[in-house]
């Protein structure tokens, strides 16, 4: 089974591509890291308790305020839900303090999300799917790209397009809030270069500066290429022979480690030239 790592940056169109891939004619199963990230911090979970313990004393509005419809102990007695805008203001930005808080938050959420993703991947493998999409905003940053046969980046070449789409989508954001959210992530054009550095078929870039129809054409071409490289019969063979599936997964892990090492060396050489 082919693991397709799908990433991008905020407001570049990753969710649009994910929706296209989950719909006919592709019907690919999607494991969405954002959805899982919400699931693992629901009231009563280990993630929720850890976030409240760390951020609660210094973030008075960390939880949704009590109201007629939101009791003090939460709707199910496990606690009030997280106030995501307040938590976002605490961790988004490029100051040292916000980077530290963001690292703490990621250290709480990421392990829980990875476990949920692992269960999802195994389930789809057992159901015989030829491919599964791992929709992960921080695919490269989290190191999860090393498990993927292909990394797909949805990018825009013009930063202004990204900012315009973000402000249109999230009207409550100020210009400063929007800029902080964009700057808190790796530049999507850097992600695109990293995907291209993986080589043909191992890394793909979908440039989303235009219309949804133009994006659809790129998605069609990408899926045609990937199906040629990883046909359905190969998935059934891996399902029928688990030791072969383990061997293929181990080889991909090793090869991706090699690719990432070459990327880090490339970044080092580029930095030395500046």
pLDDT in tens, 124-137: 988 988 999 999 98
Q: Are residue 195 and residue 270 in the same domain, yes or no?
A: yes
Q: Are residue 4 and residue 58 in the same domain, yes or no?
A: no
- Answer yes or no: is pLDDT of 168 > 90: no
Q: Are residue 153 and residue 267 in the same domain, yes or no?
A: yes
Would residue 223 count as lying in a domain? yes
164 vs 12: CA distance, rounded Å: 10
**Mean pLDDT computed over 99-110:** 91
215 vs 220: CA distance, rounded Å: 9
Q: Are residue 47 and residue 16 in the same domain, yes or no?
A: no
Which of the two residues, 113 and 159, has the higher pLDDT score? 113
Last residue of a domain, one of 93, 128, 163: 128
Over the chain, what is the mean pLDDT? 90
Q: Are residue 111 and residue 97 in the same domain, yes or no?
A: yes
37 vs 35: CA distance, rounded Å: 5
Q: Are residue 262 and residue 200 in the same domain, yes or no?
A: yes
Residues of the domain holding 214: 1-29+131-274
**Mean pLDDT computed over 4-33:** 94
Q: Are residue 192 and residue 225 in the same domain, yes or no?
A: yes
Q: Are residue 228 and residue 92 in the same domain, yes or no?
A: no
Last residue of a domain, one of 128, 151, 169: 128
Q: Are residue 138 and residue 119 in the same domain, yes or no?
A: no
Amino acid 253: pLDDT: 93
Tokens 């999607």 belong to 30
pLDDT confidence of 177, banded at 50, 70, 90? Answer: confident
CATH number at residue 180: 3.40.50.300
Q: Which helix (H) or strand (E) holds 31?
A: strand 30-32
Amino acid 274: pLDDT: 62
How many domains does the chain divide into?
Answer: 2
Would residue 35 count as lying in a domain? no
**Mean pLDDT computed over 44-48:** 93
- Answer yes or no: is pLDDT of 44 > 80: yes
Q: What share of the chain is helix, strand, coil (3-state, %, to 5)?
A: 60, 10, 30
pLDDT confidence of 76, banded at 50, 70, 90? Answer: confident
Q: Name which of 64, 66, 62, 42 is nearest 54 in CA terms.
A: 62
pTM: 0.84
- Answer yes or no: is pLDDT of 12 > 80: yes
Would residue 221 count as lying in a domain? yes
Q: Are residue 252 and residue 141 in the same domain, yes or no?
A: yes
Q: Are residue 141 and residue 115 in the same domain, yes or no?
A: no
Last residue of a domain, one of 73, 99, 128: 128
**Mean pLDDT computed over 150-175:** 86
């Amino acid at each position: 089974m082919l693991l397709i790592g799908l990433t991008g940056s905020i407001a570049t169109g990753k969710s649009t591509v994910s929706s296209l891939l989950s719909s006919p004619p592709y019907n690919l199963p999607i494991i969405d890291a954002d959805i899982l990230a919400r699931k693992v911090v629901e009231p009563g979970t280990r993630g929720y308790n850890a976030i409240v313990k760390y951020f609660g004393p210094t973030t008075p509005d960390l939880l949704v305020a009590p109201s007629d419809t939101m009791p003090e102990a939460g709707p199910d007695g496990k606690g009030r839900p997280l106030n995501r805008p307040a938590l976002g203001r605490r961790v988004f930005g490029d100051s040292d303090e916000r980077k530290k808080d963001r690292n703490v938050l990621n250290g709480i959420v990421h392990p829980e999300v990875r476990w949920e993703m692992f269960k999802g991947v195994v389930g789809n493998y057992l159901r015989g799917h030829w491919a599964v999409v791992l929709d992960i905003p921080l695919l490269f940053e989290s190191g999860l790209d090393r498990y993927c046969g292909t990394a797909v980046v949805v990018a825009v070449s013009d930063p202004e397009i990204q900012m315009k789409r973000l402000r249109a989508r999230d009207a409550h954001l100020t210009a400063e809030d929007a800029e902080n959210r964009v700057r808190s992530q790796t530049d999507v054009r850097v992600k695109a270069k990293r995907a291209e550095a993986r080589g043909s078929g191992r890394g793909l870039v979908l440039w989303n500066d235009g219309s949804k129809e133009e994006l659809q054409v790129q998605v069609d071409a990408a899926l045609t290429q990937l199906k040629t490289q990883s046909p359905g019969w190969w998935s059934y063979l891996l399902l029928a022979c688990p030791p072969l599936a383990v061997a293929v997964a181990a080889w991909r892990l090793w090869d991706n480690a090699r690719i990432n090492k070459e990327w880090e060396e490339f970044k080092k050489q580029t930095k030395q030239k500046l």
